[in-house]
Chain A
Amino acid sequence: AQTVTQSQPEMSVQEAETVTLSCTYDTSESDYYLFWYKQPPSRQMILVIRQEAYKQQNATENRFSVNFQKAAKSFSLKISDSQLGDAAMYFCAFPMGHAGGTSYGKLTFGQGTILTVHP
């Protein structure tokens, strides 16, 4: 079974500082992709960033970047220059099905990390 683990239930950061949220996963697949989602108090889940496993370069979207370590099965999210609007729950997600099967396309989510940003 493929699992996703977020070991930090809560994190906090000062405005303008940098914070890293951790995520580890377990899979026997060699080609896959991973996601980080943000859920603000409004509840709307928003895709933050996406990483393809075959790409060695870490994905970056403005202030958000990942540290993807395939051998270690680690996929952490770094938020630079944190802003008050970054306060949310963050989920990492990973496909649970096998390529080619009808179950392909289902994502399994971590438990979530609540990020608080202090002014």
Chain B
Amino acid sequence: DVKVTQSSRYLVKRTGEKVFLECVQDMDHENMFWYRQDPGLGLRLIYFSYDVKMKEKGDIPEGYSVSREKKERFSLILESASTNQTSMYLCASSLWDSFNGYTFGSGTRLTVV
């Protein structure tokens, strides 16, 4: 069964900490994505990668960075966590044109205290 795996389901971090959210896919997909989900706002794209070492900012990249050193792994980094980054984070992957849609991970609910 094909999968996108997010390393943590729940995380609690302190303000100012550096936070790493990891995502791994086993489908040899070119594209990987990090979205943030907040009530009433739907899913908002943080960062997008269409190839190894390639990345593109989404709609809300401020306060985040990403790393894609290998095709199967896409990491989201919160350089200095703040309380307004408390949210649900969803990782997804797709073929280059997303013709068949995304495959999503199970999400990480991050709480910054």
Which A residues have a C-beta under 8 Å from some C-beta of B? Answer: 6, 9, 33, 35, 37, 42-47, 50, 91, 93, 95, 99, 102-112
Main SS at interface, chain A: loop
A45 touching B42 by the CB < 8 A rule?
A: no
Residues of B within 8 A of A112 (CB): 42
Count contacts between A and B, CB distance < 8 Å: 61
Residues of A within 8 A of B48 (CB): 103, 106
A111 touching B42 by the CB < 8 A rule?
A: yes
Known A35-B101, A50-B100, A103-B56: A109·B40 in contact at CB below 8 Å = no
B101 touching A102 by the CB < 8 A rule?
A: no
Neighbour of B101 across the interface among A44, A93, A111, CB < 8 A: A93
Neighbour of B90 across the interface among A6, A35, A45, CB < 8 A: A45
Specify the chain B residue showing the minimal Cβ separation from A52: B99
Interchain CA distance A9-B39 in the complex, whole Å: 10
The yes or no answer to B74 lying at the interface (CB within 8 A) is no
Specify the chain A residue showing the minimal Cβ separation from B99: A33
Specify the chain A residue showing the minimal Cβ separation from B100: A50
In the complex, how many angstroms separate the beta carbon of A48 from the nearest chain B beta carbon? Answer: 10
- How many residues does chain B have at the interface if contact means C-beta atoms less than 8 Å apart? 29
The yes or no answer to B94 lying at the interface (CB within 8 A) is yes
Which B residues have a C-beta under 8 Å from some C-beta of A? Answer: 30-31, 33, 35, 40-43, 45, 48, 50, 54, 56, 58, 88, 90, 92, 94-102, 104, 106-107
7 A-B contact pairs sorted by A residue (CB < 8 Å):
A102-B54, A104-B96, A104-B98, A105-B95, A106-B58, A109-B42, A111-B42
A102 touching B106 by the CB < 8 A rule?
A: no
B96 touching A50 by the CB < 8 A rule?
A: no
Residues of A within 8 A of B58 (CB): 106
Interchain CA distance A42-B105 in the complex, whole Å: 11
Known A42-B106, A43-B107, A45-B104: A105·B97 in contact at CB below 8 Å = yes
